[in-house]
Amino acid sequence: MYDIDYRYVRKDGGQTWCYGEIEPDSNFAVTCDDEDDDGIVADIDTSIHNTWDKICRYLETNYSNEIEEIETC
């Protein structure tokens, strides 16, 4: 198992664990509490959302509020 690079505390009090380095062309593999919501997110502008905190806030608002894990890919 990889070491966690960032731990984000969601609005619901749960945690999102983040793995990997954010690069200009990064996509993100997202694992949610509901496996039907799992997927790959490829439309995040990493020149703006260039930290794990910004990525997590963006995805919590625009993708799912129950993301358990995010990994760069």
Q: Quick one: tokens of 50?
A: 């260039």
The residues near 67 (Cβ < 8 Å, ≥ 6 apart) are 10, 16, 30, 31, 32, 33, 56, 59, 60
pTM: 0.93
Beta strand pairing call for 67-72 and 39-41: unpaired
Q: Where are the domains of the chain?
A: 6-72
Among candidates 11, 24, 16, which has minimal Cα distance to 52? 16
Tens digits of residue pLDDT in 3-21: 999 999 999 999 999 999 9
Tens digits of residue pLDDT in 37-67: 999 999 999 999 999 999 999 999 999 999 9
Answer whether 23's CB lies under 8 Å from 35's CB: no
